[in-house]
Amino acid sequence: MNYLSASKSQSNMFAGDLKAPTIAVARTRLMFGVFFFLVAFVVMGARTVELGMSTPITAKQTIARHIEVPATTVARADIVDRNGEALAINLKSSSLYANPKMISNPEAVAQKLNEILPSVPRAGLLQKLKSGRSFVWIKRKLTPKQKWDVNALGVPGLKFQEEEDRLYPHGRLASHVLGYVDVDGNGIAGVEHYFDDQLSNSNRSGEALQLSLDIRVQYALADELEAAMRAHRAKGAAGLVMDVNTGELLALVSMPDYDPNNISGVSDDELFNRASKGVYELGSTFKTFTFANALDDGVATLEDGYDATKPLKVARFLIRDDHPKKRYLTLPEIFAFSSNIGTAQMALDIGSDRQREFMGDLGLLNPAALELPEVGAPMYPASWRKVSTVTISYGHGIAVSPVQLATSIASVVNGGSLNAPTLVRTSAAVQSQRQVISQSTSRQMRQLLRLAVTKGTGGRADARGYRVGGKTGTAEKASGGGYDRKSLISSFVGVYPMDDPQYVVFALLDEPQGTKETFGFASGGWVAAPVVKNVIMRTAPLLGVLPKWEDEGLYQKVALMIDED
Amino acid sequence: MRKAFTAFAAVSAMISGAAVMQLKLAVQEQADEVEVLAQQIHNDRENIRVLNAEWAYLTSPHALQEKSISFLALMPPAPKQILGSLDDIPFRIKGDAVDGDASVLLPSAMTKKKNAPKQKASKNKERAL
């Protein structure tokens, strides 16, 4: 103030009258500035209050944009079945290691660890803990429960290493479909290998791969095949359940199988997929295709017949019947009693070129287009001679995989449209369908297949109420240029319900032995047909197929042509 | 007057400053809480994956069958046990018979509909009488 007044008095001396208005002007200007800031503060204050009072909905929206839940990333996508049941899942797992230098009393720790981890031997554990090293693995990939228990011990020298582990909750079930992964998580077999890029693609992480399998059906089939395999002391077994109209596989089983959770020490025989990689001469089931061919081309009608009184001589081979009737047989009889002689004559009427073309149309001469790396190529003669025509008509001299057979059977019964087999859940519309036989031929084939069960060799597959149709197949294994009468491939292919086909069920047993229950027989009708029957009885209620007492009239006309003696 | 004005300005500036500071701290606190919740959701999701795997293991068809054999006497249903429609149930009173029987109580919505024409009929009867 003093300085100001001093300067005032000083300026008075120089400025004189100018002093008073200058200060007034400066004060007015200052007041403008103050007023401006005041207004600005009032506006800001009002705005703050307004924001505070505003509805919380807008506030939530602005916040929601910033909330980020860390995504659950997995190195490999899950695999689920058609109902969303987990088949393969990647989990964070912990591996236990120890720093023995930090453990004061190894004996007590070894004792306690052994109680938690019984698979780790106590002596070896003690030796590890007593070693003077600073890092020893105790066990890789502990379960969450084991990890909890180890943590509860509170021993300072025990530590965990976080890892990711591929887990197959269903163990052996569907192992041949799923395949397995190596230690680094790369798919080695099955769909794990086929879809390796898709599964390990980090951009699509979290998007599970949905298969067409139904784990319940898979189990029913695996259970029945295993029981039959044990009962008949067979070397192996294979089977599948396929949706007739879409080509989707609901179950694909190969025995013996393996546990994909632990693949050390698994033999090649266990890894071998008999259902898709294995090709077999399947025997009489091929008569279905010969009949479909003859009926569709008009070579023969259901009213025709062939003479089967004595064995047929073709070139230097003699064609015999397993169940000789030694008389003239009608077409339905030839099919129901599975006569080789009758079928062979029909094939000769069809001709070699046309037979080969028809087999090609059904996809039996090309490997199945299945989403597995393990797909077997069919074997058939390079030059399709007369003898080949005859033997192929009843399923010898041509070897195909069970998947190929089921695909072709499905096309024969579903009205004639061929669907590629698939292991991935698809909608029917996506499927590329190709017409191979006419609707009416398909209807006749359904009648024949049903009668082969009600009156013919497939009687043991008749799951009453489910209208099963099917064909038995028994082939002798080729060995050393000839056929071994003792070692058989016995199979049965069934379709149900026959008045509106929905599912193909196939069962195959590799070298089954006859038992007291089967009176020593090991043919398809004795060993494989009951498997198909049991599988249908177990799975039809799950798949929503209604049991019905059938309309005999559907088959009457054809049934009358079968003379049972 | 001017002094009072200056004092008011100073006080209001301090109050609003404090208020904004407090608001900022509150928002910070909320944001921290949100972050903790997000982390918790993430952990829960990881745990759900583990539980899903365990559930799949415990309910695999083989395990269920073992349990069923040891604790229940369940068998796959026989075709005879499965009925396609209500008409297949034997000795079941058919729909018409129930409607005609006055002793059977029907839901009110149904009885109203049924009664409507009857009332008319009874009125007609009265007239006739």
Question: Tens digit of pLDDT for each residue in A257-285?
Answer: 999 988 888 888 899 999 999 999 998 99
Instruction: Name every residue whose Cβ is closer than 8 Å to that of residue B43 and which is 6 or more positions away in sequence.
Output: none
Question: What sign for the dihedral angle of Cα A336, A340, A341, A343?
Answer: positive
Q: Is A170 on the interface with B (CB under 8 A)?
A: yes
Over chain A, what is the mean pLDDT? 85
* Residues A176-183, mean pLDDT to the nearest whole number: 89
Cα dist. A117→A126, A148, A150 in Å?
A: 13, 12, 9
Looking at the DSSP bridge assignments, the partners of residue A93 are A163
A30 in any annotated domain: no
Residue A494, token pair as written in the block: 């069934």
Task: Please report which confidence band the pLDDT of residue A62 belongs to, taking 50, 70 and 90 as the band edges.
Answer: low
Helices B2-58 and A19-53 pack at an angle, to 10 degrees, of 30
Give me the pLDDT at residue A102, please: 83
User: How many structural domains is chain A composed of?
Assistant: 2
Torsion sign over Cα A7, A11, A13, A16: negative
pLDDT at B81 (0 to 100): 84
Q: Which chain B residue's Cα is nearest to A167?
A: B53
Question: What is the arithmetic mean of pLDDT over A83-90?
Answer: 89
Mean pLDDT of A86-115: 85
- pLDDT value of position B121: 43
Peptide bond into A169 cis (omega under 30): no
β-pairing verdict for A209-210 and A79-80: parallel
Mean pLDDT over residues A234-245, rounded?
93
Could B19 and A63 be called an inter-chain contact, meaning their C-beta atoms sit closer than 8 Å? no
A382 and A531 together in one domain = yes
Q: Over A203-249, what HEC string results?
A: HHCCCCEEECCCHHHHHHHHHHHHHHHHHCCCCEEEEEEEECCCCEE
- Average pLDDT of the segment spanning A355-375: 91
Alpha-carbon distance A342 to B59, whole Å? 51
Residue range B93-104: mean pLDDT, rounded: 61
Q: What is the pLDDT of residue A223?
A: 94
Residues A184 and A232 in one domain: no
Using the predicted structure, report yes or no on whether residue B126 has a pLDDT greater than 70.
Answer: no
Query: How many beta carbons lie within 10 A of that of residue A554, not counting itself?
Result: 16
Residue A360 has pLDDT above 70, yes or no: yes
**Domain check: are B42 and B12 in the same one?**
yes
Mean local confidence (pLDDT), A58-73: 62
Verify that A444 and A345 share a domain, yes or no: yes
Is A284 designated active site?
A: yes
Do residues A507 and A523 touch, judged by C-beta distance below 8 A? no
Q: Do residues B87 and B52 both lie within one domain?
A: no
| Chain A positions in Cβ-Cβ contact with residue B41 (cut-off 8 Å) | 69
Using a CB-CB distance cutoff of 8 angstroms, which residues of chain A are in contact with residue B65?
219, 223
Q: Give pLDDT, residue B119.
A: 45
| CATH number, domain with residue A332 | 3.40.710.10
Confidence of residue A11 (pLDDT cuts 50, 70, 90): very low
* Unique residue bearing structure tokens 């490999």: A76
Q: Using the predicted structure, report yes or no on whether residue A300 has a pLDDT greater than 60.
A: yes
Residue A484 pLDDT greater than 80, yes or no: no
* Residue B37 and residue B61 share a domain: yes
Using an 8 Å CB-CB cutoff, list chain B residues near A91. Answer: 49-50, 53
* Residues of chain A above pLDDT 70, percent: 92
**Interface membership of A67 toward B (CB under 8 Å):** yes
The mean of the pLDDT values for chain B is 78
Q: pLDDT tens, B16-68?
A: 999 999 999 999 999 899 889 999 998 998 888 888 888 998 999 999 999 99
Predicted confidence at residue B96, as pLDDT, reads 61
- Which pLDDT value is given to residue A90? 86
pLDDT higher than threshold 90 for residue A404: yes
Catalytic entry in A175, A284, A352, A388: A284
Mapped onto helix, strand or coil, the DSSP state of residue A400 is strand
Q: Are residues B59 and B20 in the same domain?
A: yes
- The one-letter code for the residue type at A342 is G
Q: Which of A210, A239, A268 is the last residue of a domain?
A: A210
Q: Which range has the worst mean pLDDT, A67-81, A421-435, A539-553?
A: A421-435
So what's the pLDDT on residue B104?
Answer: 61
Whether A72 sits inside 8 A of B45 (CB atoms) is: yes
Q: In what order do the strands lie in the sheet with A469-479?
A: A249-255, A236-243, A503-510, A482-496, A469-479
* Whether residues B64 and B90 fall in one domain: no
Q: Of A179, A210, A241, which closes a domain? A: A210
pLDDT-based confidence at residue B97 (cuts at 50, 70, 90):
low
| CA dihedral of residues B45, B49, B51, B54 (deg, nearest 10) | 180
Mind telling me how many Å the CA of B40 is from chain A's nearest CA? Answer: 9
Mean pLDDT to the nearest integer, A14-31: 77
CATH number of the domain that residue A188 is part of? 3.90.1310.10
A271/A171 same-domain check: no
Which structure tokens are listed for A29?
């200007």
Which of A90, A219, A496 to substitute to test the interface with B, most B CBs within 10 Å?
A: A219
Residues A198 and A316 in one domain: no
Per-residue pLDDT at B41: 92
Rounded to an integer, what is the distance from CA A74 to the centroid of its chain? 21
- B100 pLDDT higher than 80: no
User: To probe the interface with B, which of A27, A89, A496 has the most B CB atoms within 10 Å?
Assistant: A89
Of the pLDDT bands very low, low, confident and very high (cuts 50, 70, 90), residue A116 is confident
What pLDDT score was predicted for residue B111? 53
First vs last C-alpha separation in chain A? 139
Residue B105's pLDDT band, with cuts at 50, 70 and 90, is low
Same domain, B43 and B103: no
Residue A527 has pLDDT above 70, yes or no: yes
> At which of A193, A210, A227 does a domain end?
A210
Lowest mean pLDDT among A59-63, A125-129, A317-321, A425-429: A59-63
Residue carrying the six token digits 């089921």: A406
Give the closest-approach CA distance of B27 to chain A in angstroms: 10
Residues A393 and A479 reside in one and the same domain: yes
- Give the pLDDT mean for A164-184: 88
In this prediction, residue A308 carries a pLDDT of 85
Q: Does A141 touch chain B (CB under 8 A)?
A: no
A86/B53 CB distance under 8 A:
yes
* pLDDT > 60? residue A64: no
- A219 pLDDT exceeds 90? yes
Name the 3-class secondary structure at A181.
strand
Instruction: Give chain B's domain count.
Output: 2
Q: Do the chains contact at B38 and A70, CB–CB below 8 Å? A: yes
> Mean of the pLDDT values across residues A402-407?
94
Among the residue ranges A17-26, A441-450, A531-540, the one predicted with the least confidence is A17-26
Q: Is pLDDT at B124 greater than 50 in this prediction?
A: no
Residue A183 and residue A297 in one domain:
no
Q: Does residue A185 share a domain with residue A103?
A: yes
| Alpha-carbon distance B13 to nearest alpha carbon in chain A (angstroms) | 8
| Least confidently predicted of A38-42, A47-51, A344-348, A550-554 | A550-554
What pLDDT does A8 receive? 47
Per-residue pLDDT tens digits for A135-147: 888 887 787 788 8
Which pLDDT does position A468 carry in this prediction? 92
Contact of A496 with chain B, judged by CB distance below 8 Å, is answered with: no
Q: How far apart are CA A493 and CA A482, in angstroms?
A: 26
Q: Do B84 and A548 touch (CB under 8 A)?
A: yes
Residue A56 lies in a domain: no
Chain A positions in Cβ-Cβ contact with residue B62 (cut-off 8 Å):
170-171, 173, 219, 223
Nearest CA in chain B to A64: B34
Distance of alpha carbon A347 from alpha carbon A342, whole angstroms:
9
Same domain membership, residue B31 and residue B65: yes
Q: What is the structure's pLDDT at A274? A: 92
Whether the predicted pLDDT of A77 surpasses 60? yes
Q: Decide which of A204 and B51 is more confident.
A: B51
Query: In this structure, is residue A34 part of a structural domain?
Result: no
- The answer on pLDDT for A100 being more than 70 is yes
Res A507: pLDDT? 95
Full residue range of the structural domain in which residue A172 is found: 79-210
Instruction: Kindly determine whether residue B84 and residue A541, on different chains, have CB atoms separated by under 8 Å.
Output: no
Cβ pair A170:B57 closer than 8 A: yes
| A220 and B CB contact within 8 Å | yes
Of the listed ranges A202-216, A330-344, A420-434, B55-69, the least confidently predicted one is A420-434
Q: How many CB atoms lie within 10 A of CB A537?
A: 22
Contact: A70, B42; criterion CB under 8 Å: yes
Q: Which residue in the set A48, A67, A170 is minimally distant from B16, CB to CB?
A: A48
**Do B91 and B57 fall within a single domain?**
no
| Chain B residues lying within 8 Å of A541, measured CB to CB | 76-77, 82
Residue at A21 is within a domain: no
Q: Which of A92-96, A174-178, A206-210, B124-128 has the lowest mean pLDDT?
A: B124-128
User: Which residues of chain A are within 8 Å of residue B53 when distances are taken between CB atoms?
Assistant: 86, 89, 91, 167, 169
User: A379 CB contacts (<8 Å, ≥6 apart)?
Assistant: A279, A398, A399
CB contact under 8 Å between B38 and A67, yes or no, is yes
Q: Which residues of B touch A (CB under 8 A)?
A: 9, 12-13, 16, 19-20, 23, 30, 34, 38-39, 41-42, 45-46, 49-50, 52-54, 56-57, 60-62, 65, 76-80, 82, 84
The confidence score (pLDDT) of residue A6 equals 46
Domain assignment of residue B59, given as a range:
2-71
- Average pLDDT of span A384-410: 91
The answer to whether residue B89 scores a pLDDT higher than 60 is yes
